[in-house]
Chains A and B, each alone.
Chain A
Amino acid sequence: MPLLTVEQLGKSYNTHTKVLRNVNFEVEAGEFVSIIGPSGAGKSTLLRCINRMVDIDEGAVIFNGADVGMLNKKELRTLRTDIGMVFQHYNLVPRLSVIENVLHGRFGYKTTLQGIMGRFTEAEKERAFYLLEKLGIAEHAYKRCNQLSGGQQQRVGIARALIQEPKIVLCDEPIASLDPKASTIIMDHLKSITVELGITCIVNLHQVEVARDYSDRIIGLREGQVVFDEMSYRLTEQRTDILYGTKSKPVTQVRELLTV
């Protein structure tokens, strides 16, 4: 059984536009999948349907045997502990230290009181340092997050996701605000999550080249529909153009721009 099944998923934020339409795909445990597609195609929305950060309107998301749309509040919290999330803008609490931010990933396992008091076990703290060590930022553990560079902050974000001990990590454009060197570091770390720890990764990306280099499989999304879902080497330039609608009518577009 696949780890994640998305069945005929439909989503709309308002009545007149459908952001996702009849989306179907499966992800096996240990896969590294990229989702690409033009801006506004619904990539972020699709990721947020998986851990139900937005409500699912039609169809179903089955994760690890559970119908995500049917869970009650408590079950949803438990589900989210299994799903790590990494963001374009890192979304760390800037005034808190790196180590505190990493430990935020443990709240899903805490009761309200334990969480409020900030009670973390020694094992959890050791694990946090271990992860920071692995990501190469242990020396910054006691610094405030806003003193770190973007690439370093993103690694804190990854550590926060990993300390959840997730089965899957969802990344929404993790390298969109980073330079090529920092991007490579982040993508290498994400890849090693799947390869070394066997954790599934779904990554929204704008860089087609990066998607092709790192992922096992690429899902192309356009106007809320899956238009490509194959092994990454099958993504030819021609199909990329269709996906993004780039070269379909280039000459007329340029003319339009010039005449305006």
Chain B
Amino acid sequence: MQATTYMKRRRDGRISLNSGNQVQHVMQMTILILTILTIVAFLFFDYTGLNFKKALVETAHNLQAMFLEPALSHFSWSEAFYQVGITLGLAFLATILGAIISFFLALAAAANLSKEWLSKTVRIVLAFVRAVPTVLWVLIFAIAAGLGSEAAVLGMLLHSIAYLVKAFSEAFEEVDKGIIEALRATGASWWHIVVHAILPSTFTYLTSWTFLRFEINFGVAVAMGAAAGAGGIGFELFMASGFYFDLREVGMITYMILLIAIILEVMSTFLKNHYFPETVKN
């Protein structure tokens, strides 16, 4: 009965398993308040002129046209593939450039490879970059570059860098510090350690993260086509829905995007299983 100085009890006297700190309390309160607000919001909506039955039927009809009768009417199949290619190209460019730049920045951001002030500076700056959504970055770049693919790639690039540097630098920090110590003790220089110890130890993680970011960037590139006029399949989707009100075409394009997303997913799983068995096992 003596060990109770460290034991925490709830108000009802039962032993608590959480440390019961401030953070947890704040989290619980936040979730509670959000739940209440959500429910209350429904009571304040303007329901005049809403015929529930009619709305349901029409929604169902639209969905049917979209997903059960998809068709292309304003452009051809070859055009469609070309547009998908453009979207993939945007995503690819932003990802590859981003991965290369991120590699070097992540070296500066990793606490075990860099000076403390440098690592902190890079982290803080990139945290800000990450906090701003990609779309906003694209629009910011559009001020200088004009709306279009350049602004889209720059914006996606910036956000990819912020994301990949975090992922990469965390992978670098996972490298056993004994390995780094052993190489330092042989007289190896910093670049030797990076190329011959850090890179081989983390390469599979870096590729996995890059591919994951490519998947994300594909989705973003679709949205950028519409929002920033970057072209590609996203722009056609925007035209079909907002300009021609052609629900069948919207459906078709959605299916195409879905197909690409599935192919990317299958590819990433395949890559993981066949080339990086250890990342999956770990």
A residues adjacent to B (C-beta < 8 A): 51, 53, 77-81, 83-85, 87, 89, 91-96, 100, 104-110, 112, 115-116, 118, 157, 160-161, 164
Q: Is the CB of B200 within 8 A of A115?
A: no
Output the residue of A53, A91, A106, A161 with the most chain B CB within 10 A.
A91
| Complex: A77 Cα to B176 Cα, angstroms | 21
CB contact between A104 and one of B181, B183, B201, B203 (< 8 Å): that residue: B183
Q: Is the CB of B187 within 8 A of A116?
A: no
CB contact between A53 and one of B185, B195, B200 (< 8 Å): that residue: B185
CB contact between A94 and one of B188, B191, B195, B201 (< 8 Å): that residue: B201
Does B178 interact with chain A (Cβ within 8 Å)? yes
Q: Is the CB of A112 within 8 A of B176?
A: no
What residue of chain B has the Cβ atom nearest to residue A47's Cβ? B185
Given contacts A110-B192, A115-B195, contact A92 B187 (CB under 8 A): no
Interface residues of B in 184-201 (CB under 8 A from A): 184-189, 191-192, 195-197, 200-201
Output the residue of B185, B201, B203 with the most chain A CB within 10 A.
B185
* A-B contacts besides A93-B197, A110-B192, 16 pairs, CB < 8 Å: A53-B185, A79-B187, A81-B187, A84-B185, A87-B178, A87-B182, A91-B176, A91-B178, A92-B179, A96-B196, A104-B183, A112-B189, A115-B189, A115-B195, A116-B191, A164-B187
Q: Is the CB of B185 within 8 A of A107?
A: no
Residues of B near A96 (CB, < 8 A) are 196, 200
Residues of B near A106 (CB, < 8 A) are 186
**Main secondary structure on chain B at its contact with chain A?**
helix
Q: Is the CB of B186 within 8 A of A160?
A: yes
What residue of chain A has the Cβ atom nearest to residue B202's Cβ? A95
What residue of chain A has the Cβ atom nearest to residue B182's Cβ? A91
Q: Is the CB of B192 within 8 A of A93?
A: no
25 residue pairs A–B, Cβ–Cβ below 8 Å: A53-B184, A53-B185, A77-B189, A78-B187, A80-B185, A80-B187, A81-B186, A87-B182, A89-B178, A91-B181, A91-B182, A93-B196, A93-B201, A94-B201, A95-B200, A96-B196, A104-B182, A104-B183, A107-B188, A112-B191, A115-B188, A115-B189, A115-B191, A157-B182, A164-B187
